[in-house]
Amino acid sequence: MRTTGFTLAVLLGKLQSFRLATPVVALLTRALYDCLKQLPGQVEGYMDFGAEVTLTPAALAECQFWYSRLPTWNGFSLLPVTITRVLYTDASGAGLGGMIHRVLARVMEPAILQIAEYWEPEMDEALKASVVTELVGLSRALVAGRAALAGESVLHRTDNICTYRVVVKGGSQRSARLTRIVRRIFLFCLTHGITLSSQYVGADVIIRSGADALSRVDDRSDCRLNKGVFGRLWYVFGPFHVDRFASANAVQSDPASGRELPYFSLHADSRCTGIDALTADWRGVTNYAFPPVSLVGLVLRLLREQGATALVIVPKWPAQWWWPLLLSMARGPQVELVSLLAEGELFERVREGGPCTPLGGYLHQEGTCWLAVWVPGTAEGRQGFQGLGDNSWVERG
């Protein structure tokens, strides 16, 4: 589509007049401003506004946005809105942390959701810049807490003054990357009906909120079965639809496609399906569960009450109260797995004779055997587990 430079300049001037009420004008006019660079004579210090310019697809998308939104959207309120949620975020070199509080009658209640996520090892060096880290942390915190924040007026609190200014101003004149992140935040909030405002607070406020501690949680103790062993279990008992006890760094994947399974985590993050697996509905799917030792009994009770199906990884521990319940519910052979087939720092401590068990509890003997136990949702169970009795298909070590 082509238009004159004069028409484009008039449009941009009108959009800029909305900037006091709508700071995000800068976010959604950059492609239109880039089109002005097509005008001849710019090198000599002037532009021929009578010349024609071609609107790029990005510029047309910005025009469509303003055309569809301006009749119904009033932008940011000039007066403070009634805050219904408070979101604290913090980011460190390890990851991000967040706390979401509900506000009722102007009283902030205890946190209703904790958010913790860890940076991927391949995250590029630029993320180490504090402003980028904080903005990416805010973006992911919004995604992780979208169920609690959708349709709400959210006050974001940060101890990074630059992050606050970039969010309030709707981007950065110096950094296109920061502007892209803020634009992504804004469009996400728009999609989910979130009215977002920002507030700069001292570091002590963020520390007291708990967000700082969550951003520094060491996740090296996250544990999972060796991927090769999990793949073999997949082809016998799977396919699995959900990993019920995992984190972003310990979730299992479909061995065929390499795609991560939907997973439940201890803390909310931008990729997890949900938190607190014991409050979820496990029915209608085939579940994979490697629960903390202290939760094994509760998992078995849940499976029995819901009639759900799962492959559960448990320690071979006949002295536990849940052991008879496990034997009564299990179908097919119990596949033995040694600790050497698991990955995670706590398993390394086990090999060195340490007292910790993976995922909590007390390890009574080094080399404790772990079992993969099939717990079906019906009394009949699944047939056809031939060839598993001697566990010859499991590689040890």
Query: What does the pLDDT read at residue 228?
Result: 79
Cα separation, 231 vs 224, whole angstroms:
12
| Domains with residue ranges and CATH for the chain | 2-69 (no CATH), 85-215 (3.30.420.10), 224-375 (3.40.50)
Q: What is the pTM of this model?
A: 0.65
Query: What does the pLDDT read at residue 87?
Result: 93
Q: SS3 sequence, 182-245? A: HHHHHHHHHHCCCEEEEEECCHHHHHHHCHHHHHCCCCCCCCEECHHHHHHHHHHHCCCCEEEE
Q: Give the phi and the psi of residue 244 in degrees, each rounded to 5.
A: -80, -25
Query: What does the pLDDT read at residue 355?
Result: 37
Query: What does the pLDDT read at residue 193?
Result: 86
pLDDT tens, per residue, the chain with 397 residues = 888 877 888 888 888 777 666 667 777 787 887 887 777 765 556 667 777 788 888 888 888 887 777 766 555 444 456 889 999 999 887 788 889 999 988 788 888 888 888 777 656 555 666 788 888 889 999 998 888 899 888 999 998 888 888 888 777 777 778 888 888 888 888 888 888 888 898 888 888 888 888 887 655 556 777 787 888 888 888 889 999 888 877 888 888 888 889 988 887 887 888 888 888 899 889 999 988 888 888 999 999 888 898 999 888 888 888 889 888 888 877 777 754 454 544 444 433 443 333 333 333 344 457 788 888 876 554 544 444 444 444 444 3
Query: What does the pLDDT read at residue 288?
Result: 92
Kind of pairing between the strands at 335-338 and 369-375: antiparallel
Name the token pair of 204: 């002590």
Query: What does the pLDDT read at residue 124?
Result: 59
Asked whether the CA dihedral 81, 85, 86, 90 is positive or negative, the reply is negative
DSSP 174: S
Buried/exposed code over 26-42 (b: 16+ C-beta within 10 A; e: otherwise): bbbbbbbeebbebbeee
To the nearest whole number, what is the mean pLDDT of the chain?
Answer: 77
Cα separation, 385 vs 237, whole angstroms:
9
Indicate the residue type of 48.
Answer: D
Query: What does the pLDDT read at residue 45?
Result: 60
N residues, the chain: 397
Query: What does the pLDDT read at residue 156?
Result: 92
Query: What does the pLDDT read at residue 127?
Result: 60
Query: What does the pLDDT read at residue 100?
Result: 92
Cα separation, 39 vs 282, whole angstroms:
61
Cα separation, 168 vs 23, whole angstroms:
7
